[in-house]
A and B are shown apart, each in its own frame.
Chain A
Amino acid sequence: MLTVNSINYGIVIDHITAGNGIKIFEKLKLGEVNFPVVLLINVSSSKHGRKDIIKIENKIDVDLTMLGLIDPDITVNIIENNKIVNKMNISIPKEVQGLFKCKNPRCVSNFDEYVSPKFRLARSNGKIYYRCSYCEELTSYSI
């Protein structure tokens, strides 16, 4: 079985749904950093069967809103001296700004460069959408 050492100082993003690890790796631009990073895919998980894990041997600013949009079930562990000092459960963000575009082509946020698209979480017919704060159209997101 493949083994990877635990980290002494940094961040572990755990319980990533199998397949989403590479997306998060790319969104956090972890291929461009100069400190050790490990992306583990298809690791056995008692909860999900398979999961992905990212271990980052450094503390970086992680956009939790963006992580919540990609995969609301993940956990982010902050490690210091080999111990978890902070464990954050991610959830679906209630508000999102600037991470995706409004689907309404007539929306001002697709036209005025000064305007950063803003959304509030909305549900319609049991599905999750984001309602544009400017034009109120519902947008389903994909990151």
Chain B
Amino acid sequence: MSLIGRHLIDPNDFSLEELNKVFNLADKMIEDRGAYSSICKGKILGTLFYEPSTRTRLSFESAMLRMGGSVLGFSDASTSSVSKGESIADTIRVLSTYADVVVMRHPKEGAPKVASEYSSVPVINGGDGGHQHPTQTLTDLLTIRRYKGKLENLTIAFCGDLKFGRTVHSLISSMSRYQGSSFVLISPAELKLPENLKASLTEKYNINIYETESLEDVINQVDVLYMTRIQRERFFNEADYIRLKDSYILNRSKLRNAREDMLVMHPLPRVNEISYDVDDDKRAVYFKQAEYGIYVRMALMATLLGVDVNVNGK
């Protein structure tokens, strides 16, 4: 099935082959960004941000501008007609006539799916509450693929808040589709991966999951360490937070036991879960990960729009 005109609401909306197509284009764009600087000339990205998100919004805007397209939209629901109680269906019916592709962030879970049912142009989910954030997942997958050269037969460790972290839920669901994936889940008992997600993944895919509370015990066994922030308010009491918070901070001394080619990833923004002394380590790829986010969004939008990506005979 062609990707032209499709929506991206859930990272698993695309088959592995379709994802590869987007990643292959992103790779080419990374190699020669300039060659793609006008492929979206005359195209408009609509940014419908019902809640603030500087990073995701700017990343999308940058991606479209770097391809020669234009951007319009709102970044605060209070300035749009939604504050007057307009339904998502009505908003998207009108705004999808103003743009060629739309990205929506919304605090309510499932809102971009609703938009996709009434939109005349592709809708990309830019994050819906605690549910999905598919372009972050695409960014994560592209980063792993570029550094490891593959997405199969990898052991990925997730560390921190695995209960509420949507980036974790999305990435583990996507990585489960690749052959030979193993997961190490490192979190305090209060913030473990939800049981129903774990059960549905193990029922559906042939994956291994190992759960532990100790980062140090497993850091030497993994290919990728995906760090997330632990928020104080997620803990039942202050004593537990103080007791546990340092266990989930990655620093240079903990990294000493890790494999030479392990990747340290983080969806950003970080607070203190990765010490600054890790930034210079060659295994720390989280800033590169953020940069790849622009290219994967460029490749995604170009693909959904169906623009000509055969530049300079490439």
Contact = CB atoms under 8 A, between A and B. Distances in A.
A50 B148 CA distance: 65
Contacts of A61: none
Given A113-B87, A114-B89, A115-B88, A108 B109 contact: yes
A65 interface: no
B11 to A, nearest CB: 13
Q: How large is the interface on B (under 10, 10 to 19, 20 to 34, 35 or more residues)?
A: 10 to 19
B305 interface: no
A133 B108 CA distance: 14
A109 interface: yes
Interface of A is mostly: loop
Contacts of B196: 124, 138
Nearest to B117: A115
A134 to B, nearest CB: 3
A112 B113 contact: no
B199 A124 contact: yes
A108 B199 contact: no
A62 interface: no
A38 interface: no
Contacts of A135: 109-110, 128-129, 131
A112 B50 CA distance: 14
B291 interface: no
A125 B196 CA distance: 9
A102 to B, nearest CB: 8
Interface string A109-143: 10111110000000011000000111111100000
A3 to B, nearest CB: 50
A108 B88 contact: yes
Contacts of B200: 124
Interface in B176-210: 196, 199-200
B114 interface: yes
A136 B130 CA distance: 11
A22 interface: no
B111 interface: yes
Contacts of A136: 110, 131
Interface in B199-241: 199-200
A136 to B, nearest CB: 7
A77 B144 CA distance: 59
Contacts of B199: 124-125
B163 interface: no
B196 to A, nearest CB: 6
Nearest to B111: A108
Q: Which of B108, B109, B110, B128 has the most CB of A within 10 A?
A: B110
B165 to A, nearest CB: 15
Interface in B88-119: 88-90, 106-111, 113-114
Contacts of A47: none
A113 B200 CA distance: 31
A104 B110 CA distance: 11
Given A135-B131, A136-B131, A109 B110 contact: yes
Contacts of A111: 108
Contacts of A109: 110
Contacts of A114: 87-90, 114
Interface of A: 104, 106-109, 111-115, 124-125, 132-138
Interface of B: 87-90, 106-111, 113-114, 128-131, 196, 199-200
